[in-house]
Chains A and B, each alone.
Chain A
């Protein structure tokens, strides 16, 4: 069994450029092994540009981090495809594909890539197909469990000898859905075309409660996320035995403290309000000890 690596996932919220810069300076000082950079949620968010991410990439590399450039999950226009192609040309870095458009582009360029969590891989056959096209790492869809991961790895091993790294979303608000509609703009009665990037007012998303006061979802622009924080810190042993990399997805500067818990295997306790259902093959919003 090798040591579980820790990855900081792409920032899913729209943060001001200065704040994001501070964030990555702190990530550089952390014990994280891998950092994913880039906008994955909304093509309209341009407070930080590709050149900014490339600057941070250099800084993080100098701090000894492996950098991966991440790409948009929902591509709807020609302009977004052009931007995707620009990202895919950065051959100095591994690229995370979050749509099959990126897989197609990276395959045609003969570049290796990561299959992000927004791509549908549910079985070993599909993963083997992607491996033949150049995938070297797979981030499991967030709704899948440890049992599913183990079974899929077994099936994959029977189909191909191509190496594959397995990464699991292990901490953060879960990205659950993408829509054409911007729910944050809708909350403010703004048209999506004139959204004023209103989602930057909510750097940890917009909490959505049921009418009897339970946290249900978090709205983040066109993305709908879990209402509660997913946290596999108490499942670290099982994670270590079945995956290579734990992905931590931050919605607050203070989240950075979790890097140590996952990297060092300290016996962190999962806060009562945090959840881990998907990993245990039950409703995602539930938790199991």
Chain B
């Protein structure tokens, strides 16, 4: 099972590799990837350096080109694909059918993974993507462990799961909440709840967080004010104020490792290209130890306290969940 770690820049990539990542995924610094944030991702020169560094250390490099091409602008996506393939990346992570078709026709030997943004949740949808010769599918964070197990037994395509990091609770690639509030969504501009729409305002005793002027949440002094990701705000439903969609929390599947190994899951993915090199380093270290430990102790694996403490301290709202993998979460 591959440990696949995020890198929004070269220092993160190097630290992930130093801590034992089997593979690292990156994006280019434009709107061809779903973490299109200012100051993040690699330019052409850095991509070459990343590829060289991974080759020297015998690790794999995946490049996410996983937004959807705008009409009459497909050349931008083609250029990103050509560039990534030219530097010899190991896998491309792709969501747009136009891009998959282009790669299948022009680079038939290029390894392709279907991005989580393509929202593939079932065996028939996986069959659809076989026409492009894809090797792997990244599953959205909407399936229960039992559903993942069913898929793993029915398909011959590799499955990759999100293991740790920010929890997207919607079927990825099919969520327009961000464009509803701001005009920009992961599918159209490569970002959810973009920072340029965020406004913090002290209002009496409360700190208010707004996204494009919509009040997402407000916090008292003793509460930690979180980033106004729109699905993690507190809203009012029937006079009750609560996290109507989801609490600010992170996904953590450490305790599922033996089951994921038994299911022959091809890779566990750490979310967080937007996070710091220090974050990537700490999370990678814990997951490397945990995977090695689980492989050696399949029957009596348990999550060590210091792993959990480290991951909790790095999590949104300092709390973690098994998300949809655990039926009760639904």
Within the complex, which residue of A124, A180, A207, A219 is in contact with B324, where a contact is CB–CB below 8 Å?
A: A180
Q: Is the CB of B180 within 8 A of A180?
A: no
Roughly how many angstroms separate A120 CA and B67 CA in the complex, as a whole number? 10
- In the complex, identify which listed stretch (B116-124, B296-304, B308-316) lies at the interface while the others stay far away: B116-124
Within A117-160, the residues touching B (CB, 8 Å) are 118, 120-126, 129-130, 141-144, 148, 151-152, 154-155
With an 8 A cutoff between CB atoms, is B278 at the interface?
no
Roughly how many angstroms separate A176 CA and B185 CA in the complex, as a whole number? 11
Within the complex, which residue of A129, A141, A182, A193 is in contact with B101, where a contact is CB–CB below 8 Å?
A: A129
Within B233-250, the residues touching A (CB, 8 Å) are 233-238, 240-241, 244-246
With an 8 A cutoff between CB atoms, is A220 at the interface?
no
For A81, what are the chain B residues with a Cβ–Cβ distance below 8 Å? Answer: 122-124
Q: Is the CB of B176 within 8 A of A180?
A: no
For A282, what are the chain B residues with a Cβ–Cβ distance below 8 Å? Answer: 183
For A143, what are the chain B residues with a Cβ–Cβ distance below 8 Å? Answer: 176, 179-180, 185, 187-188
Q: Is the CB of A176 within 8 A of B177?
A: yes
Q: Is the CB of B128 within 8 A of A100?
A: yes
Would you give the shortest CB distance from A147 to chain B, in whole angstroms? 9
Q: Could you mark each residue 124-168 of chain B with 1 if its beta carbon is under 8 Å from any beta carbon of chain A, else 0?
A: 110111000000000001111001001000100000000000000
Would you give the shortest CB distance from A63 to chain B, in whole angstroms? 33
Roughly how many angstroms separate A183 CA and B246 CA in the complex, as a whole number? 9
For B142, what are the chain A residues with a Cβ–Cβ distance below 8 Å? Answer: 74, 76, 178-180
Roughly how many angstroms separate A219 CA and B242 CA in the complex, as a whole number? 14
With an 8 A cutoff between CB atoms, is B45 at the interface?
no
Within B163-191, the residues touching A (CB, 8 Å) are 169-171, 173-177, 179-183, 185, 187-188
For A154, what are the chain B residues with a Cβ–Cβ distance below 8 Å? Answer: 71-72
Roughly how many angstroms separate A192 CA and B70 CA in the complex, as a whole number? 37
With an 8 A cutoff between CB atoms, is B93 at the interface?
no
Nearest chain B residue, comparing its CB with the CB of A125: B98
Q: Is the CB of B182 within 8 A of A283?
A: yes
Q: Could you mark each residue 20-32 of chain B with 1 if its beta carbon is under 8 Å from any beta carbon of chain A, else 0?
A: 0000000000000
Within the complex, which residue of A104, A182, A206, A208 is in contact with B124, where a contact is CB–CB below 8 Å?
A: A104
With an 8 A cutoff between CB atoms, is A177 at the interface?
yes
Roughly how many angstroms separate A122 CA and B119 CA in the complex, as a whole number? 15
Q: Is the CB of A178 within 8 A of B237?
A: no
**In the complex with contacts A123-B74, A209-B236, A99-B330 CB distance below 8 A:** no
With an 8 A cutoff between CB atoms, is B195 at the interface?
no
Roughly how many angstroms separate A120 CA and B66 CA in the complex, as a whole number? 12
Q: Is the CB of B124 within 8 A of A122?
A: no
For B143, what are the chain A residues with a Cβ–Cβ distance below 8 Å? Answer: 76, 180
Within the complex, which residue of B69, B128, B170, B185 is in contact with A123, where a contact is CB–CB below 8 Å?
A: B69
Nearest chain A residue, comparing its CB with the CB of B123: A81
Q: Is the CB of B188 within 8 A of A122?
A: yes
Would you give the shortest CB distance from A237 to chain B, in whole angstroms? 22
Roughly how many angstroms separate A144 CA and B125 CA in the complex, as a whole number? 24
Q: Is the CB of B71 within 8 A of A120?
A: no
With an 8 A cutoff between CB atoms, is B295 at the interface?
no
Would you give the shortest CB distance from B253 to chain A, in whole angstroms? 15
Within A83-126, the residues touching B (CB, 8 Å) are 84, 99-105, 118, 120-126
With an 8 A cutoff between CB atoms, is A187 at the interface?
yes
With an 8 A cutoff between CB atoms, is B97 at the interface?
yes
- In the complex, identify which listed stretch (A6-14, A52-60, A210-218) lies at the interface while the others stay far away: A210-218
Would you give the shortest CB distance from A150 to chain B, in whole angstroms? 9
Roughly how many angstroms separate A74 CA and B216 CA in the complex, as a whole number? 27
**In the complex with contacts A126-B96, A174-B180, A277-B183, A181-B324 CB distance below 8 A:** yes
Would you give the shortest CB distance from B67 to chain A, in whole angstroms? 9
**In the complex with contacts A182-B330, A192-B330, A278-B179, A122-B122 CB distance below 8 A:** no
Q: Is the CB of B218 within 8 A of A177?
A: no
With an 8 A cutoff between CB atoms, is A40 at the interface?
no
Q: Is the CB of A120 within 8 A of B174?
A: yes
User: Which one of B68, B69, B141, B236 has the highest number of Cβ atoms from chain A below 10 Å of its Cβ?
Assistant: B236
Q: Is the CB of B215 within 8 A of A211?
A: yes
Q: Could you mark each residue 203-231 of chain B with 1 if its beta carbon is under 8 Å from any beta carbon of chain A, else 0?
A: 00000000010111110000000000001
Q: Is the CB of A210 within 8 A of B176?
A: no
Within the complex, which residue of B72, B182, B244, B327 is in contact with A183, where a contact is CB–CB below 8 Å?
A: B244
Q: Is the CB of A211 within 8 A of B328?
A: no
With an 8 A cutoff between CB atoms, is A233 at the interface?
no
**In the complex with contacts A129-B101, A193-B327, A208-B179 CB distance below 8 A:** no
Within the complex, which residue of B69, B121, B169, B246 is in contact with A125, where a contact is CB–CB below 8 Å?
A: B69
For A231, what are the chain B residues with a Cβ–Cβ distance below 8 Å? Answer: none
Mind listing 18 A-B residue pairs with CB under 8 Å? A74-B121, A75-B124, A75-B125, A77-B150, A104-B127, A120-B68, A120-B95, A120-B173, A122-B68, A123-B70, A129-B97, A143-B188, A155-B74, A177-B175, A180-B330, A181-B324, A181-B330, A211-B234
Give the top 10 A-B pairs by smallest Cβ distance, nearest first. A125-B98, A101-B124, A122-B68, A180-B142, A284-B180, A151-B71, A180-B324, A192-B330, A143-B176, A177-B175
| A-B contacts besides A100-B129, A193-B327, 15 pairs, CB < 8 Å | A99-B125, A120-B174, A125-B74, A126-B68, A148-B70, A177-B171, A177-B174, A177-B176, A192-B327, A209-B236, A224-B245, A278-B180, A283-B181, A284-B183, A285-B214
